[in-house]
Chains A and B, each alone.
Chain A
Amino acid sequence: MSRLLIETSTPLCLLQDAGRFGVRHLGVTQGGALDWVSMSWANWLLGNSLDAAVVEVTLGGLTLIAQQECVLALAGADLGATLDGQPLAPWRSFAMGPDQRLQFTRPLSGARAYLAAPGGFDAPKVLGSCASVLREELGGLDGLGKPLAKGQQLGYSSQSQRVREMPGGLVPDLVANQPLDVVLGAQIGDFSGQSLFDAFNAPWTLDTRADRMGIRLLGPTLSYLGKPMISEGIPLGAIQVPPDGQPIVLLNDRQTIGGYPRLGALTPLALARLAQCLPGAVVRLSPVVQETACQEHRRFLERFAV
């Protein structure tokens, strides 16, 4: 077993995995890593299953001190990580010796970094997952959803399986300004024509009102012309439009049901990219039909089969 002492942390440093499934009918949120692509690569670099428990570091502020020899992997945002003061670039595995210090300082590129350990970090599975959801008191190191805290220890029990390097050309470009694909659906037919035009042509600015439940987009006011809705299930990535006309992209920790009309939902690949955007970033939305999005998603997953 190898352990890492947490010297500093923030409320945005969380143990995550792919999320909690099979319990949403009870009102339990999905949870899980916001940038699942980076989580998957971090695990892939160590030969883990792609959904093994990782640490999601948002913006920085995490400092870990190795207690024993460790092998870890880092993917996702460049949060100015250093190993004993020396810069440590993401998208690679690395070794740490006893008393070496890993520090995440500030976001240089992207917003969320993912740290993986051989076999995944040790944590109790609560309702099938260790995804941390504070408001539901589920997941995390303590099983009660709390973020990582100073003084706690992160550990892992497996030997490193098969340490690998990123395949050439497959490092995601987190700053690429590619439009975010939206699977058209839900109540999209009940928005005004102008709103549909605006939704897919206007630039949208990420508001500071953003957390793991949702990210508000600022831009033209969208108007829904349909009837008031009865609450219904909300899928991951749903773009809901409350009465003020400013859309909200609903993320992993969203409520399970809700009654605001929706344009459809971002694809998982678009969500992974959105998760790396900071408030103030400008994004564009691009319409895609379900079948095409599915094919693209399946093709993308082949990358991990390398």
Chain B
Amino acid sequence: MKVRIEVVAIDCLMVRLFDAIDEANMPWMLAAGQRLRAGFGDALIDLVPSYTTLMVHYDLLRLTPGAARECIVRALKDLQPDAGGMGRCHEIPVWYDRSVGPELALLAQRSGESIEQVIDRHSGREYQVFALGFAPGFAFMGLVDEQLAAPRLDTPRKRVAAGSVGIAERQTAAYPAVSPGGWNLIGRTPSKLFDRQRDGYSLLQPGDRVRFVPVSHDEFISLGGDDTPLEGQE
């Protein structure tokens, strides 16, 4: 881990800690985020963490570029990985079904396995939230079993239902709201991923751990899920 600071805009500096996506980055990234928030205090406008970087957007009326740089250096001096662990653990119910997860069969075919095995592989491991982006509450999670890794669709769908669970390469995610999307869809969750009434708004935060739990159609409905097939939503 080596801290690099790059200019990216008039009032933004990019703090680069790593060069590759790795689950081992997270304790460092979380610690760096906390230190930067504390170090900048009210002069921080936004802090945008991603897999290997944290973008610091600060108030340019309160800090010169030089002062902002010094603030970053000071905040990250002798950085230690966050010992408090990896954030919260979540169990997210998923109804895996071809009507709401049209690529289930494709992934099964690609891996030479049955749909049940695909479901087992996807729900059989714990994922880490690497980053939030694309849409409010959209959490990029990984790493997915190599057997399930699949490129994004050649042509993204114009409309993906809220709660849709998908795979792209070795990452998985659930769409918090209706949106366009190019991920391979395998199921749907009734969980509300972004809720403006919730404290912190987003169910998932970087560093959180997630396990997907297969549920039946009945359970999905009783949890408030919408089983409208994808094709019926065009």
Interface residues of A (CB under 8 A from B): 21-28, 30, 126-127, 135-138, 183-186, 230-238, 255-258, 262, 264-265, 267-268, 290-291, 293-294, 297-298, 301
B101 in the interface (beta carbon within 8 A): no
- Residue from A25, A293, A297 within 8 A of B48 (CB atoms): A25
Kindly identify which residue among B11, B45, B50, B136 contacts A233, using a CB–CB cutoff of 8 Å: B50
Other A-B contacts than A255-B135, A264-B7, 19 sampled, CB-CB below 8 A, are A21-B46, A25-B47, A25-B48, A26-B132, A27-B134, A27-B135, A138-B136, A183-B10, A185-B7, A230-B52, A230-B53, A231-B51, A255-B134, A256-B133, A257-B133, A264-B8, A265-B9, A294-B60, A298-B60
Q: Which residues of B contact A23 (CB under 8 A)?
A: 46, 136, 201
Flag if B10 contacts A265 (CB, 8 Å). Answer: yes
Chain B contacts for A185, CB-based, 8 A: 6-9
B158 at the interface (CB under 8 A from A): no
Q: Which partner residue on chain B sits nearest A186 by CB separation?
A: B8
Residues of B within 8 A of A238 (CB): 8-9
B115 nearest CB across to chain A (Å) = 30
Task: List chain A residues, Cβ under 8 A from B179.
Answer: 135
Q: How far is the CA of A232 from the CA of B8 in the complex (A)?
A: 11
Interface code B42-60, partner A: CB below 8 Å = 1, 0 otherwise? Answer: 0001111111111101001
Task: Give chain A residues whose Cβ lies under 8 Å from the Cβ of B109.
Answer: none
**1/0 per position for B185-214, CB-CB distance to A under 8 A?**
000000000101000011000100000000
A–B complex contacts, Cβ < 8 Å, 20 sampled: A21-B45, A22-B46, A24-B47, A25-B132, A26-B201, A27-B132, A126-B196, A183-B9, A186-B6, A231-B51, A232-B55, A233-B57, A234-B55, A237-B9, A237-B10, A256-B48, A258-B133, A264-B8, A294-B64, A294-B65
Min CB distance B36 to A, Å, is 11
Residues of B within 8 A of A255 (CB): 133-135
Contact in complex: A290, B7 (CB < 8 Å): yes
Residues of B within 8 A of A257 (CB): 48, 50, 131, 133-134
**B86 close to A (CB within 8 Å):** no
**Please, how many angstroms separate the alpha-carbon atoms of A218 and B11 in the complex?**
27
Cβ–Cβ contact A233 & B48, under 8 A? yes
Q: Tell me the smallest distance from the CB of B22 to a CB of chain A, in Å.
A: 11
When distances are taken between beta carbons in the complex, the residues of chain B under 8 Å from A262 are 8
With A26-B201, A27-B137 known to touch, is A235 a contact of B8 (CB < 8 Å)? yes
Tell me which residues across on chain A come within 8 A of B66, comparing CB atoms: 291
Do A22 and B14 touch (CB < 8 A)?
no
Q: In chain A, what residue has the closest Cβ to B52? A: A230
Q: How far is the CB of B89 from chain A (nearest CB, A)?
A: 19
Is the Cβ of A231 less than 8 Å from the Cβ of B50? yes
Cβ of B220 < 8 Å from any Cβ of A?
Answer: no
The reply to whether the CB of B21 lies closer than 8 angstroms to some CB of chain A is yes
> CB < 8 Å: which of B46, B50, B55, B177 contacts A137?
B177
Query: Min CB distance, B215 to chain A, in Å?
Result: 26
CB neighbours (8 Å) of A230 from chain B are 20-21, 50-53
Tell me the B162-193 residues at the A interface (CB within 8 Å).
177, 179
Can you name the residue of chain B whose Cβ is closest to the Cβ of A296? B10
Asked if B133 and A231 sit within 8 Å, CB to CB, the answer is yes
Say how far B31's CB is from chain A's closest CB, in angstroms: 15
Q: A24-B46, A24-B57, A291-B65 are in contact. Are A136 and B136 (CB under 8 A)?
A: yes
Q: In residues 108-158 of chain B, which contact A (Cβ within 8 Å)?
A: 131-138, 140
Residues of B near A268 (CB, < 8 A) are 10
Q: B12 at interface (Cβ–Cβ under 8 A)?
A: yes
- B24 near A: Cβ within 8 Å? no
Smallest Cβ-Cβ distance to A189: which chain B residue: B6
The 7 closest A-B pairs by CB, nearest first: A233-B55, A233-B48, A235-B9, A185-B7, A265-B9, A257-B133, A235-B12
Please measure, in the bound complex, the distance between the C-alpha atom of A234 and the C-alpha atom of B14, giving whole angstroms: 9
CB-based contact B53/A232 at 8 Å: yes
Distance A236 CA – B48 CA, assembled complex (angstroms): 12
Chain B: minimal CB distance from A58 (Å): 22
Which partner residue on chain B sits nearest A259 by CB separation?
B50
A99 and B216 alpha carbons, distance in the complex (Å): 59
Given that A135-B179, A185-B9, A290-B10 are known contacts, is A25 also in contact with B46, CB under 8 Å in the complex?
Answer: yes
Query: A residues within 8 A CB of B6?
Result: 185-186
| Chain A nearest Cβ from B33, distance in angstroms | 8
Q: How far is the CA of A24 from the CA of B46 in the complex (A)?
A: 6
Instruction: Output the least CB separation between B49 and chain A (Å).
Output: 6
Nearest CB of B to A146, in Å: 14
A185 CB, min distance to chain B CBs, angstroms: 4
Set of chain A residues within 8 Å of B196, measured between Cβ atoms = 126-127, 138
Question: Which single residue of chain B is at the shortest CB-CB distance from A237?
Answer: B9
Residue B61 at the A interface, CB < 8 A?
yes
Task: Count chain B CB atoms within 10 A of each CB in A238, A257, A301 and give the residue with the most.
Answer: A257
Hey, which chain A residues are within 8 Å of B53, CB to CB?
230, 232-233
Instruction: List residues of chain A with CB within 8 A of the CB of B46.
Output: 21-25, 30
